[in-house]
Amino acid sequence: MEKSQQAIVLTRTYDAPISKVWKALTEIEQMRQWYFPMLADFKPEIGFTTEFEAGPEGKPYLHRWIVTEVIENKKIAYKWLYPAIEGDSTLSFEIESVERGTKLTLTHSGLESFQANGDPNFEPGSFNGGWTHFIQAFADYIE
């Protein structure tokens, strides 16, 4: 794991073929199983936008994703925004076939743009904890 002011980067190898990993990252029914069960819709298409509420118990935040890059079986990226909170970040999942399965690299950049609001839920440590949870949830789902 690497952390800097600008990004959180987490990498993990899964014992699963790249096509299975790609589908779990991009197909709504699968995303609901390991990621956000409240997702109303998702399409791996540039420009696709979705919104949903999620957050710590008793304090949900409206999330907005706007898909910015799609390279099938390689990469998906989207803007990760909170309409009520100043800030602009980007999340990407990059995958590649390796000898033992599929290597996934998650990068969430632009986190410093949320820090001006003073909410501890937007500190890098909070994001890191969330992504560590999701990387494990993905493993539990995919393997």
Per-domain boundaries in the chain:
2-142
What's the confidence (pLDDT) of residue 2?
A: 45
pLDDT for 104 equals 98
CATH superfamily to which 2-142 belongs:
START domain (3.30.530.20)
Report, as ranges of residue numbers, the positions in the chain whose pLDDT lies below 50. Answer: 1-4
Give how far Cα 21 sits from Cα of 46, 65, 85, Å.
19, 20, 31
Residue 75: closest CA among 92, 50, 99, 98? 92
Give pLDDT tens digits for 88-118.
999 999 999 999 999 999 999 999 898 777 8
Would you state the pLDDT for residue 116? 73
pLDDT at 5: 56
For the chain, the residue count is: 143
**Contact criterion met (CB below 8 Å) for 120 and 13:** no
Quick one: pLDDT at residue 3?
A: 43
